[in-house]
Amino acid sequence: MAKLTHQYFAAQSLVLGGVILGLVPLIWFAISRGGLSAFRLDAGIWDVLVFTLKQAFLSTLLSVVPGLFIARAMARQDFHGHAWLLRLFAVPTALPAIVVVLALTSIYSNKQMLGRWIELYGLGGILLAHVFFNLPLAVRLFYEASENIAPENFRLSAQLSFTDAELFRHVEWPVFRNIVPRVSALIFLLCAASFVIVLTLGGPSATTLEVAIYQSLRLDFDIGRALTLALIQILLCFVLVTLSGRVMLQNVTHAGNQLLQRRFDGRGLNARFIDYTLIAFGAFVVLPPLLALLSSGLTQMQINAQVLNAFGFSIGIGLLSACIALVLAWNIAQQSDWFSQGLALSALIVPPAVMATGWFIVLQGFSDNVFVVSVAIISLNALMALPFVVSILVPAFDRNRKRHDRLCAQLALSGWQKLRHIELPLMSRPLIQSFLLAFILSIGDLTAITLLGNQGIVTLPSLIQIQMGHYRGNEAAGTALLLGILSLACAWAAQRFGDAHDLD
């Protein structure tokens, strides 16, 4: 294990302090209200828990099963635009949830368009939004996994005249079988902790734990109910993170055979028809909302004082949150002990809505102070980004440690000299990539500002929510396009730095 430093203990203490600050007020409230009597496991709470698990299960099923076969179809077929379609499947992951909700609303709430088939508000809309986000993610992960199949396996299967079913059973499924549980666990966790999508597309009978926490705090000010929901959410997320293993702390797969792999299956007419139908379905899930957002946003974008103010708040909060997340992750990612890994996953085990519940109680007397609230929002966004930043830095640190630690020991390089001459030059690309990722997550976040914010702080996501709430859909479309362009530009830059780093 790497030598522990004061900086590591400082980062460790800050992350742990943030989590404790979210949990201790809840525990104190329970004790002050008579201990266990503060917990109210009524029928309404059980209904919320059942719906949370139900929508997460259905969202995962509708994303993973089609995603696997779409990825297989793309791996089998070579066509013009193949690379562009893969890039298209990366777009939803980079878009803030509020932007996607607005894009889906513009086409699925219109009965003259696709809305005649889907009821957008309720379970159907929640599933649609989750599939828009997670189906492309599943496709990309399964596609990368298919590239790890040894090329000689395809040559051997062709020599043995395997049918498509036999090839899938004996060659492809052994690879997919190892990744399906992890991809499913990751998507289930993301859907179970969904906030913005359920807040905007749900309703009284379509409420998840995180949204119910928000409603109990900001609408009903029922802290006892919020406490019960928060503890259930912590238990649920802890179980999910434990079952999913180290999903966020290591790459799901490493594609290394793309240039060498040649496939001989999927050449029949029926196979090609099925594959291209699946590929078209995947494109149909992603393209219409993006085109609708682009079409409405270009004609309705307005750059006024309100938008510029929200833009400035978003940039400022995003930059500060990304810097804090990067500093914390830099120190935590260098350690390989179980406690460091637990800290890195703390924002998944204790979700933002739960931490914000405790912070909300502590900051009740400062709710009108813009500076204090801004610091709280920035800090919460930094903690939310921490698992994803650490997931980029851990493999980079491990790789550089194997290559250069022995040489540094021989040259007696340590401390500032090692940081200046070895670590910073070698870690520059993953650092920039992780900073951009944290920035994207922060500028698109609506959870922290919804739970902790006040009227003096308006970011681009909260401005979109305000515009939608006042039935100013045209203005919201323009603001959403601005936020989407900013997020996609940062995501493109992060991907370029990531690709260049992978080639090192």
Q: Where are the domains of the chain?
A: 1-36+301-504, 57-209+246-298
Question: Which CATH topology does 1-36+301-504 take?
Answer: MetI-like fold (1.10.3720)
Question: Who has greater pLDDT, 254 or 370?
Answer: 370
> What integer pLDDT is reported at residue 409 of this predicted model?
63
Residue type, 396: A
What pLDDT sits at residue 404?
65
Tens digit of each residue's pLDDT (9 = 90 or more) over 347-383: 777 778 778 878 888 887 787 888 888 999 999 999 9
* pLDDT greater at residue 459 or residue 301: 459
pTM, two decimal places = 0.81
Asked whether the predicted pLDDT for residue 10 surpasses 50, the reply is yes
439-488 pLDDT per residue, tens: 998 998 888 888 887 778 889 999 988 888 777 777 888 888 889 899 88
Give the pLDDT confidence of 302-348 residue by residue, as tens digits: 778 888 999 999 999 999 999 999 998 888 877 766 677 777 777 77
- pLDDT at residue 320, as a whole number: 95
Q: Quick check: do 1-36+301-504 and 57-209+246-298 share a fold?
A: yes
pLDDT at 245 over 70: no
> What pLDDT is attached to residue 339?
73
From 156, 153, 103, select the one nearest 288 (Cα to Cα).
103
Q: Please answer whether residues 103 and 291 qualify as being in contact, where contact means their C-beta atoms are separated by less than 8 angstroms.
A: no
Query: For 229-264, what is the HEC assignment?
Result: HHHHHHHHHHHHHHHCCCHHHCCCCCCCCCCCCCCC
Integer-rounded Cα radius of gyration of the chain: 24
Domain 57-209+246-298 fold is MetI-like fold (1.10.3720)
* Higher local confidence (pLDDT), 284 or 44: 284
For residue 406, pLDDT beyond 70: no
Question: pLDDT category, 250, cuts 50, 70, 90?
Answer: very low
pLDDT in tens, 197-237: 998 888 777 888 888 888 887 777 777 787 788 888 888 88
* 238 alpha-carbon distance from chain centroid: 17
- Is the pLDDT at 81 greater than 80? The verdict is yes
| pLDDT of res. 337 | 67
pLDDT value at residue 61: 96
Does position 94 have pLDDT exceeding 80, yes or no?
A: yes
Alpha carbon distances (Å) from 393 to 18, 115, 189, 324, 499? 21, 43, 22, 15, 14
How sure is the predictor about 68, in pLDDT bands with cuts at 50, 70 and 90? very high
CA-wise closest residue to 231 among 16, 377, 30: 30
Q: Note the pLDDT of residue 456.
A: 80
Mean pLDDT of all residues in 160-173: 77
Mean pLDDT of 418-436: 74
